[in-house]
Amino acid sequence: MLNAEADHAVAESTTPAWLLRVLRIEWLGQTAASLCWMVSMFFYGISSIGDGLQLGAASCWLLANIAAAITATEA
């Protein structure tokens, strides 16, 4: 029992913080949503300023998710 807990603690401490963050359902869901939003803009076409703003918003959302993963620190 104690060995299993110690092995688990060692495995967690060697896993990079960004990887732990990326594997969380919250991060995966938000990243998937921003990517779908961006791809949909290309399927429907960018024909107005509003379309460009939507693509910009989706891109900023994706960049924010990437930045959150990169700057994640272990608590």
Per-residue pLDDT of the chain (75 residues; tens, 9 = 90+): 556 665 555 556 688 888 888 889 999 999 999 999 999 998 999 999 999 999 999 999 999 999 988 886 654
For the full predicted model, state whether its pTM sits above 0.75: no
Q: Are 74 and 18 in contact (CB under 8 A)?
A: no
pLDDT on residue 54: 94
pLDDT on residue 37: 94
pLDDT on residue 28: 93
CA 31 – CA 58 distance, rounded (Å): 10
pLDDT on residue 65: 92
